[in-house]
Structure 1
Amino acid sequence: MKNSLRVHAALSLVALIYAANYSLSKDVMPHYMGPFGIVTLRIVGAALFFTVLSRLVAPQDRIQGRADTGRSIICGVTGIGVNQLLFFSGLNYTSPINASLLQTIAPIVVVLASAVLLREKITGARVGGILLGAIGAATLILSRNPTDAIYPNATLGNILILLNATAFGVYLVLVTPLMRKYNAFTVLARIFQVGALVAVPFGWRNVLETNYAAFPLYIWSEVIYMVLFLTIIAYLLNNWALKYASPALLGVYIYLQPVLAVLIAVSLGKDHFTWGRALQAALIFGGVFLVSRKPRPQVPLEPVLD
């Protein structure tokens, strides 16, 4: 299989893994295990895995220097610890479709964070995209849906998911220099170790107090899915695909995830898709599309000869 086909297969599988999680997590939370307990199991499991893998793949590679160490700590806090705590807390309160749509705001946050942290210019088209995405997100957060009776705290959940997408967007900007300088597994090991330090104080009690003997087989399989596929395999596939995939291609797969999430949620009877949500999705997708477009390089003017 050629690399291009492998990249498409990897990114499609990652999108499917993430999309299925929006519905599968609903089976586990909050009846069998609380969101902080799930986050703790995920992050601690991934921290152990990536720590061992980094020692095997790049035993001499170490994050060095005060600046890189500080950056890795901030990445672990924003991209792993806070990010996951916000995501699963929000998903616990809101519907799978709302959560999947709001997650696509992350590229808009990346552009804003790049402008603030890296002083990159924002073009007029990107400003329009930011406003369009913001309108879509705001209407989605504040709107009333047929699932309101099932998710009475959906507004709070929507806000937590939006904060999660914001934290993840900032993380993507901050982690890029580390990924270019060090082995990817060295960086992943460090940020998951930091993330574990953030998550464990919130979730250790939930992990210890959970009645695992009451888990049916399908709940065990979904917990294993969230630890193994959602955390470890998805990160491995994403990092491999990033070596070959263009930003434009990655942008296409941003749109695939919520589409798959909608199909899975509706087919499992866990959510409903309405025309109002379709309009909100169109606004968010349109905003992300405008923001993700690279500005055209300016062609220098030819000198005028007298």
Structure 2
Amino acid sequence: MNKRTLAILAAIGATTIYGVNHTIAKEVMPNYVQPLGFIILRVLGAAILFWLISFWGPKEKIDKKDYLRLGLCALLGMGFNMLVFFKGLSLSTPINSAVLITTTPIIVLILSAIVIKERIVGRKVLGIGIGLVGALGLILFGSEIRQDAPNIPLGNFLILMNSVFYGSYLIVAKTLIEKYHPFTFMKWLFTLGILICLPFGYQEFTEIAWSKLPLEAMWRIVFVIIGTTFCTYLFNIFALTQLKASTLSAFVYVQPLIGIGYAIGTGQDRLTTVKIIAACLVLLGVYLASKKPKNKEGIV
């Protein structure tokens, strides 16, 4: 099996993990672990794993001039991003989460236009509009009555904000990712993430009743730490060595299909008319916004 095939399998593996995570993580919160306490488990566990694996990477030091950018990356990617996602997931449903998370490419496109003045024309503008209509539809009209989803509109809004913070992180982190080895970057990113998330999640972390956690909750926690956090980063890093970034980003279209299928198959969520329409609008919007235009009159 050649490296390109392995890279495609790695990308599929990462997307699959992300897809089922919406349901697996949801089942832990809030009955066993509160969302902010769960974040501490995630960043602490992943930081330990990345420090262990970093011994097989190059010995690098972060330049002093990069401290501020690294701190901002940790704030956006390890702090705000994770905090709003897990809090939003605890308030909303797995299907809503799986749909809204795919707005990230649209958010990145908007932020690129604002921050680095990237030109947005034609099809991309239409895609942004359609995708945001779908996202707003879930936020404004996706309310249901569920004991495990106490505030779906607010939860949907927080999940959408997760895409905003993660998109900002991708833009800010670009130069550091190109400069440092992934192991170096990730171990410091997650270490700073612990310091950022600790004030928010310490109280909920100390409230975890470890002796009362059933096996079902334990394996879900382990899955989120090792699978959703550690393995997905490794899979994506390897995939990027053999695939173009644009090719890898296309796998985002598969995530809601896996997420919705797993949630329905395990009986943890159900489809509604609003969810179906919103999902179609979001996916169509992401497709149009992400589709690479043909070269015409010097426009790339």
Q: Classify the TM-score, shorter chain.
A: over 0.9
* 1:123–1:295 Cα contact (<8 Å) kept: no
1:233 to 222, 231, 234: 231
CA change 1:145–1:157 in 2 (3 A) is closer
In the TM superposition, residue 250 of structure 1 has moved relative to its aligned partner by 2.1
- Percentage of matched positions with identical amino acids: 34
1:113 matched residue in structure 2: 111
Counterpart-to-counterpart distance in 2, 1:31 and 1:129? 39
2:96 to 95, 98, 102: 98
Instruction: Report the equivalent of 2:6.
Output: 6
Instruction: Mark the runs of 5 or more structure 2 residues left unpaired by the alignment.
Output: none
| 1:95–1:147 CA contact under 8 A, matched in 2 | no
Correspondence 1:164-179 to 2 at 5 A: 164-179=162-177
Distance (whole Å) between structure 1 residues aligned to residue 212 and residue 47 of structure 2: 27
CA contact (8 A) 2:23 2:262 kept: yes
Q: Which residue of 2 aligns with 1:295?
A: 293
Q: Give how far 1:148 is off.
A: 4.8
Other structure's SS at 2:98 match: helix
Q: RMSD between aligned alpha carbons?
A: 1.6
Q: Give SS of 1:213's match.
A: helix
| 1:304 counterpart residue number | none
Partner of 1:22: 22
Q: Find the counterpart in structure 1 of residue 74 from structure 2.
A: 76
Which residue number in structure 2 is paired with residue 303 of structure 1? none
- 1:54 is matched with 54
Per-residue deviation at 1:299?
A: 4.4
Partner of 2:27, secondary structure, is helix
Structure of greater Rg:
1
8 Å CA contact 1:147–1:272 kept in 2: the answer is: no
Structure 1 residues 237 and 64: CA distance shift in structure 2, 3 A = same
**Residue equivalent to 1:199:** 197
Which letter maps to 2:63? Q
Instruction: Tell me the residue number matched to 2:63.
Output: 64
Checking the alignment, whether the CA contact within 8 Å between 1:34 and 1:206 is kept in structure 2 is yes
Counterparts of residues 251-270 of structure 1 (less than 5 Å): 251-270=249-268
Cα distance change on mapping 1:108 and 1:147 into 2, 3 Å: same
Q: 1:149, CA displacement in angstroms?
A: 6.0
Cα distance per residue 1:231-264 (max 9 Å; x no partner): 1111111111112222342233101111000011
- Separation in 1 of the partners of 2:51 and 2:276? 42
Residues 1:17 and 1:139: Cα distance change in structure 2 (over 3 Å): same
> Is contact 1:89–1:157 with CA below 8 Å preserved after alignment?
yes
Contact 1:36 1:206 in 2 (8 A): yes
Question: How many angstroms apart in 2 are the aligned matches of 1:279 and 1:262?
Answer: 14
Residue aligning to 2:210: 212
Measured in 2, the distance between the counterparts of 1:80 and 1:295 equals 33
- After superposition, what is the alpha-carbon deviation per residue over 1:218-240, rounded to whole angstroms, capped at 9, x for unaligned? 11111111111111111111111
> In structure 1, what is the equivalent of residue 43 of structure 2?
43
- SS of the aligned residue for 2:231 comes to helix
Over residues 96-140 of structure 1, what are the superposed CA-to-partner deviations in whole Å (9 max), with x where a residue is unaligned?
Answer: 000110000100111111112212111221111111111110111
Q: Which amino acid aligns with 1:211?
A: A
- 8 Å CA contact 1:35, 1:88 repeated in 2: yes
Q: 1:89 to 1:146 in 2, by over 3 A?
A: closer
> How far is the alpha carbon of 1:199 from its aligned partner?
0.8
TM-score, L = length of structure 2: 0.94
1:170-228 deviation per Cα after TM superposition (whole angstroms, max 9, x unaligned):
11111121111111111111211221111111112222221111111111111111111
Q: Specify the code of the residue in structure 2 equivalent to 1:188.
A: M
Aligned to 1:160: 158
Q: Identify if the C-alpha distance between structure 1 residues 116 and 144 changes in structure 2 by more than 3 Å, giving closer, same or farther.
A: closer
Look up the SS of the partner of 2:241 in the other structure.
coil
Partner Cα separation in structure 2 for residue 12 and residue 144 of structure 1: 29
Structure 1 residue 273, shift from structure 2 partner: 1.1
1:40-72 deviations in whole A, cap 9, x for unaligned? 01101112222333344111x122142x22111
SS in 2 for 1:105: helix
Q: Deviations over 1:15-48 (max 9, x none)?
A: 1111111111122110111011111011011122
1:227 to 1:150, Cα distance in 2 relative to 1, 3 A: closer
Given residue 13 of structure 1, which amino acid in structure 2 is its aligned partner?
G
Q: Which runs of 4+ in 1 moved over 4 A?
A: 145-150
Offset of residue 147 of structure 1: 5.0
Q: Are 1:146 and 1:272, in contact at CA under 8 Å, matched by a contact in 2?
A: no
Matches of 1:299 and 1:124, distance apart in 2: 14
